[in-house]
């Protein structure tokens, strides 16, 4: 997360297209919107692209296995997972956020906690063909400093 958040933060530090806000809330909101998009892209890669690559590899290797029936069952389960993700992508990529806390550490520095709410595919335990969307949360704590009249990110935890 540090690398990804670092790239995202670079935009709010003046190195990219995003603009730091005149209030801590504005900067946190801009960060949260950009981070939500980035998380959706990361999840697409993690869930969908990785599963499709794994299935492609299994298809290529199927002739090498003694128990081809098991490989075919694994491929079938992979297709079930990909179909579930495809069918629910709108919900998976719809990431919500709240600015839950703003702590003033000094007149020119603040800590802002942004909480993200999202859904991710979870395989039902004991039922490899059944999936559901699990509700998840995560928090990013932004350290902001007032620099040249704008609240800029100096660190992300």
Mean pLDDT, the chain cut into blocks of 10 residues (157 residues total) = 43 61 96 94 81 86 88 88 89 94 95 95 89 94 96 96
Phi, psi of 22 (to 5 degrees): -85, -10
| Amino acid 17: pLDDT | 63
Count the Cβ atoms, other than its own, within 10 Å of residue 44.
Answer: 15
Q: How far apart are CA 132 and CA 135, in angstroms?
A: 10
DSSP state of 63: G
List Cβ neighbours of 58 (8 Å cut-off, separation of 6 or more).
71, 74, 75, 78
pLDDT tens digits, residue range 38-54? 988 888 887 778 888 88
Count the Cβ atoms, other than its own, within 10 Å of residue 136.
Answer: 12
Q: How far apart are CA 131 and CA 153, in angstroms?
A: 38
Instruction: Evaluate the CA torsion angle 77, 82, 86, 88 in order and state its sign.
Output: positive
């Amino acid at each position: 997360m540090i690398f990804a958040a670092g790239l995202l933060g670079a935009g709010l530090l003046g190195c990219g297209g995003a603009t730091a806000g005149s209030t801590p809330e504005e900067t946190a909101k801009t960060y949260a919107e950009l981070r939500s998009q980035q998380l959706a892209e990361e999840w697409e890669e993690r869930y969908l692209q990785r599963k499709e690559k794994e299935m492609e590899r299994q298809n290529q290797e199927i002739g090498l296995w003694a128990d081809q029936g098991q490989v075919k069952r694994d491929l079938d389960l992979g297709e079930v997972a990909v179909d579930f993700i495809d069918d629910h992508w709108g919900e998976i990529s719809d990431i919500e956020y709240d600015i839950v806390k703003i702590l003033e550490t000094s007149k020119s520095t603040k800590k802002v906690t942004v909480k993200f709410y999202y859904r991710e595919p979870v395989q039902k335990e004991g039922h490899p063909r059944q999936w559901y969307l699990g509700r998840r949360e995560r928090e990013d704590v932004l350290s902001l400093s007032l620099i040249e009249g704008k609240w800029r990110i100096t660190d992300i935890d």
